[in-house]
Amino acid sequence: MKEIVAGVDIGGTNTVFGLIDKKGKIIAEESLKTTDYPKVDDFVAALVSDIDKLLLQKKEYKLAGIGIGAPNANYHKGTIELAPNLSWKGIVPLTSLIMKQIDVPVVLTNDANAAAMGEMIFGGAKGMKDFIILTLGTGLGSGIVINGQVVYGHTGFAGELGHTIIVPGGRDCGCGRHGCYETYASASGLVRTVLYLLSEMREESILRDIQPSELTSKKIAEAAAKKDPVALEAIDYTAERIAFGIINAIGFSSPEAVFLFGGLAQAGEMLLVPVRKYVEMNVQPIFKGTVKILKSGIPESNAAVLGAAALIWNELK
């Protein structure tokens, strides 16, 4: 029998899981509603039962392990801790709960670290030992790989670049602090930048006709594609701030590449070109020309499940 793993992506609303082979091919995929299971024990029972059902349909495969990506996950402990978007309160020992039900290795990390593993095993970072992935969604997640290993740190929570401060006293952040990287370098950061620029600039803009609560990064990207001056300026401003965090990360770990992923990264070269320009302009001289800025090589739609699968494949090596 051929070996296969399960990759599980736990979100606040849905949990998506699949069976993935060594090459990153998704053999089967399913989902369940996370919100249907206010008790974690019930969730675990349903998840294990559903994975078993998938395996019954694919009798030529044998399950070798389960990899999980989840918010506020602690890799060292196998726990989910104080996740604001999940109904399971406190510290949830998820991997041990699952291993009680099914006798395979189970590993757990947060979404961005799983994305980094996906990039390394199945994506654009194949063969790289030092790289960083930035997931530019509503917030900014990051996964850091050094010497071929995801950085978890002493606590298991390392790689929180979204909450490194890039502008002292800058924008209010959901974490209660100010000027965090994600308040500039994310989809919601781009929206805030448009609002700021609408105050600074006098140019006509179609963005003046959208109420702030309805403004999205997608609408801004569409406006930029139509050469709207405020949208273009906002993307340039955002690229400069994305570059700013990348520059500081380069000083820390000198990666071979930085991969951009997530909603904002879908803007593609329109964003990547100015990010590269600002990195090269402003990085320390010793690092000039040493870092590739790339779009993630993993398809957005399957990234979380593939990342979780890569996590466990890497452990099984």
User: Which residue ranges make up the site for a second copy (CB under 8 A)?
Assistant: 129-130, 144, 146-147, 149, 151-161, 163-168, 175-177, 244, 247-249, 251-256, 282, 284-287, 290-291
Minimum CB–partner distance for residue 87 and a second copy (Å): 20
Residue 157 beta carbon to a second copy: minimum distance, rounded to whole angstroms: 5
CA distance 276 to 88: 41
CB of residue 189 vs a second copy: minimum separation in angstroms? 15
Closest alpha carbon to 231 in 209, 213, 247, 246: 209
Distance between CA 158 and CA 143 in Å, rounded? 9
User: In terms of CB distance, is 119 or 160 closer to a second copy?
Assistant: 160
User: Given the complex with a second copy, which of 175 and 201 has the nearer CB atom?
Assistant: 175
Q: Where are the extended beta strands (E) located within the chain?
A: 2-10, 14-20, 26-33, 61-69, 73-74, 79-81, 91-92, 106-109, 131-136, 140-146, 149-150, 257-261, 292-295
Q: Which is nearer to a second copy, 27 or 158 (CB)?
A: 158
Q: How far is the CB of 122 from a second copy (least distance, A)?
A: 21
- Considering beta carbons, is residue 29 or 256 the nearer one to a second copy? 256
Min dist CB 99 to a second copy, Å, is 24
Distance of alpha carbon 111 from alpha carbon 134, whole angstroms? 11
Q: Which is nearer to a second copy, 152 or 216 (CB)?
A: 152
